[in-house]
Amino acid sequence: MEAVPITRATVSDGVFAQLADGILAGRVQPGDQLSSERDLAESFRVNRHAVREALKRLQQSGLVRVAHGSKPTVLDWRTHAGVDTLSMVAHSGALPALRLMRDIMVLRRTVAADAARLCALEADESQVAEILAEAERYSEPGDSAIAEVDLAFWRAVFAGSGNVAYQLAQNTLVAGYADVGWDTLAEVGVHAAEYDDPQAHVELAGRIAAGDSNGAYELADELLGRAVTAVTAAEREGNR
């Protein structure tokens, strides 16, 4: 993998970004060894401390294994990396944009539907009031603001679920499809399929408020499944 000299002030970030991009894009394969710390520093024209920090971050991200006295070994990111790697995958082009968007939407559907179920069981009065208020906002904005309304609604639902792991997963998923591109959501029909149905969101909020956990799960699963269907159809059309 050819190294591009780093000239920015945040040199360790630059080294990390280039190495991560090369690993995710497949320019270096699992099991391959990167150059030594000294050689990487020379290639990038940076000091060894910057390289050391970058390698530490790569190891924390599950992209390499660093053993004392050995060169860093590239790992299979699909096996070792976490969901927080989604943004880097999007930037690297490791997967086609619509394929990545579909995968994100499938995970979003799975996690958010269960968050709605938990929310119906766990949310307190103030959280329920916020969810009901956010649901009403779907009928207000135009296309330019609807994504923000949707984000606020689901953040309220995730908060009401009481599941911190779900909340953190939601944050990562939002960052992931933001990196793929918000405009892509509109282009493939997600807005029309999911966002442009205010009544469904009001109904979902009502089921949560009523403590109907099964009903909340079923409606959330159906509602979010529309986005999966829209992106899947666009992906198949693009592959023809």
Q: Looking at the domain assignment, is residue 156 inside a domain?
A: yes
What sign does the CA torsion over 29, 33, 35, 36 have? positive
Helix (H, G, I), strand (E, B) or coil at 64: strand
Rg, Å, the chain Cα set: 21
Tokens of 222: 């159906």
**Contact assessment for residue 68 and residue 83, using Cβ atoms and an 8 Å cutoff:** no
Domain final residue pick, 32, 47, 81: 81
One domain for residues 18 and 73: yes
Q: Looking at the domain assignment, is residue 5 inside a domain?
A: no
pLDDT at res. 10: 79
Amino acid present at 159: A
| CATH number of the domain encompassing residue 192 | 1.20.120.530
User: Using the 8-state DSSP alphabet, how is residue 193 labeled?
Assistant: I
Helix (H, G, I), strand (E, B) or coil at 82: coil
Cα–Cα dist 197/202, whole Å: 9
Q: Which domain holds residue 97?
A: 91-239
pTM for the model stands at: 0.83
pLDDT at res. 240: 44
One domain for residues 143 and 40: no
Burial 124-141 (b: 16+ CB within 10 A, else e): eeebbebbeebbebbeee
Q: Looking at the domain assignment, is residue 3 inside a domain?
A: no
Cα–Cα dist 210/53, whole Å: 51
pLDDT, mean of each 10-residue run, the chain (240 residues):
61 92 93 94 92 94 90 94 87 85 92 98 98 92 75 96 95 81 74 86 98 98 94 77
Total number of domains in the chain: 2
